[in-house]
A and B are shown apart, each in its own frame.
Chain A
Amino acid sequence: MEKHLSEKFYQAMKLKESRYPDRKALILPALHQAQAEYGWLPKEVLAEIAQYIGVHEAQIREVASFYTMYNLKPVGKMHLKICTNVACCLRGADELVDYASKKLGIQCGETTADGTFTLSEEECLGACTTAPVMMANDDYVENLDIPSLNQFIEKVKHER
């Protein structure tokens, strides 16, 4: 089978192998590691993880599809996930989603044509006292409002 995952992936996983009494516990760490490398989890990558762990591919897919953080289709270079749960929605998150959607010209769940941005509505991110909050790839942006959201998007555009 052709390898899709890098040596770095296998080295990182090697360090984790001794941390669990059962190899299947490596499934979530492997999916995270692969996604960090690939940006999303194509079918071939899931198959390679299955082979590495020693389980059927369906077992990897059933796990990957259970958790919202695993991208089973490609996402943009900057994935904006705006929380619209209670605490954020009480402080204007819905307007932020509308604003981002108009500004980027995409609906939630879509990616801009140039592949820069993906926009998602997110469930509670656990940062409710600094609401509204969004995740921008791995980082939290807190106390968000329209000016700071606009500034963030512009900054990403210019860095491209």
Chain B
Amino acid sequence: MSDNQQTLFVQHFWNDANRSVDYYLAKMGGYESARKVLGGMAPDQVIEEVKKANIRGRGGAGFPMGMKWSFIPKNSEKPKYLVCNADESEPGTCKDRQIIRYTPHVLIEGLLIGSYAIGCNHAYVYIRGEYVREARLLEEAIEEARAKGFLGKNIFGSGFDLEITVHRGAGAYICGEETGLLNSLEGKRGEPRVKPPFPAVSGAFSCPTAVNNVESIANVPHIIRMGGEAFAKLGKIDKSGGTRLISLSGHVNKPGVYEIQAGSMTLRQIIDELGGGVWKGKKLKAVIPGGSSSPVLTADEIDAVYDVEPLMKIGTMMGSAAIMVIDEDTDMAKLLLRITKFYAHESCGQCTPCREGCHWMESLLHKITHGEAKPSDVDLLVDVAGNIGGKTLCALGDAAAMPVQSFVKKFRAEFDAYAKGHKRHA
């Protein structure tokens, strides 16, 4: 099945030579979409084309991208900003890194088209601090684009100007949340903001702002080149156009970043056909389907089509398309402790339910896995999770609660075995 996949990105990955502007111009129709847009399309027409493409945001929330752009006010006197979220911080996710390493110009061209569409003259790429090398590669690509006249003043003689600045984060998961990111861009602690106002009204530097994920923006040149309708048809499922980059990790034979046409494969097919099945001939126990915050699935729940709505129907989410495969030997209570420790560490501390609750859950899980818990502590754990989810300013609270609720619900016996003293920490 994977052989018949029509892909937009992966055929250009894994070769350092492909990152040059010359490769992009020669092999990917580079900057032709931007030339077409700046040469004669009205900003509204561009947004219309993106709407037709049915592209959902690739960062995690899956919000329709064209609609996001249409929220930016047309007649604002303030400057407008396009901010690219390259924070890639949801555990399991590493697809945007490959776009930046191997096809940075498709991102730059996407930023050019997007900036024109919303009326922005200075776009920012907020990249996670650990991607030191990637930030440098992107800056080099930006310089290449500027040397060719694709950035700067009066691009393609259209009168449109654009600058792009790469802004490095410094190690904080919460800066993947768009308003935490904007605060971090402004030189503040990356604490999420109270919404409304939403970024489209008051975002970066209190100006109208669209925040889009790397992969979302990198799809825009493809949308213009193919036409929105053709792009939408790449998706094999309603309301989800294009392809999806998937980060497949954990206990599989062939971990990697793969690309499929949206909705064209089930989770099982992805694990077996792309990932070569569970490693060491072991049996599958569970799958985390969309980054570590997404509710876990058991081995018999993976025949769902891998896309936003089918996964929502079975009570989980596609998130950032990061699939983590878990084999039969894995201790689910210990794995949940590891996940929860992460969210406790990354809670920004603004909202009490998250700040206190995440540490409480971590300490309960520590007690459980170290044989120090009472049987009732498992219920207490679920109760605490229920008092975090939906009760915080941003989605980190939900992100911490969902794994706890789903792990305990689906693998309760393992937690009870610890809590009842039948199993001891090794």
A residues with a Cβ closer than 8 A to B are 19-22, 24-29, 31-32, 53, 62-63, 66-70, 84-87, 89-91, 123-131, 135, 138-140
Contacts and interface: CB of A to CB of B under 8 A. Distances in A.
A19 B163 contact: yes
Contacts of B132: 138-139
B91 A66 contact: no
Given A90-B250, A129-B257, 14 more contacts: A21-B79, A22-B186, A25-B167, A28-B184, A67-B171, A70-B170, A85-B338, A86-B250, A87-B91, A87-B92, A123-B345, A126-B97, A128-B91, A139-B133
A28 B87 CA distance: 15
Interface in B88-109: 88-94, 96-97
A24 B335 CA distance: 40
B322 interface: yes
Nearest to A67: B170
Residue in A27, A62, A126, A135 whose Cβ sees the most chain B Cβ within 10 Å: A126
Given A22-B187, A22-B205, A28-B167, A129 B342 contact: no
A63 B170 CA distance: 10
Nearest to A32: B168
Interface in B253-270: 255-257
B324 interface: yes
Contacts of B292: 85-86, 124
B239 interface: no
A25 B207 CA distance: 14
Contacts of A19: 122, 163, 165
B248 interface: yes
14 contacts: A25-B185, A25-B187, A27-B188, A69-B171, A86-B288, A86-B292, A87-B91, A89-B338, A90-B249, A90-B250, A126-B128, A131-B250, A135-B130, A138-B133
Nearest to B191: A66
B92 A68 contact: no
Interface in B295-338: 322, 324, 326, 330, 335, 338
B324 A128 contact: yes
B374 interface: no
Contact of A29 (B93, B167, B251, B255): B167
Contact of A86 (B92, B187, B188): B92
A125 B33 CA distance: 33
B73 interface: no
Contacts of A89: 335, 338
Contacts of A130: 94, 255
Contacts of B324: 86-87, 90, 128
Contacts of A126: 88-89, 93-94, 96-97, 128, 130-131
Contact of A129 (B186, B249, B338): B249
A69 B132 CA distance: 11
B199 to A, nearest CB: 16
A24 B186 contact: yes
B187 A123 contact: no
B59 interface: no
A85 B342 contact: yes
Nearest to B248: A129
A128 B94 contact: yes
Nearest to B173: A123
Contact of A127 (B79, B94, B345, B346): B94
A90 B130 CA distance: 21
Given A128-B322, A138-B132, A140-B133, A90 B170 contact: no
B170 A32 contact: yes
B169 A67 contact: yes
B363 to A, nearest CB: 18
B189 interface: yes
Nearest to A81: B130
B190 interface: yes
B62 interface: no
Contact of A124 (B257, B335, B342): B342
Contacts of A32: 129, 168, 170
B170 A131 contact: no
Contacts of B322: 128
A154 to B, nearest CB: 23
Contacts of A22: 186-187, 205
A83 B255 CA distance: 17
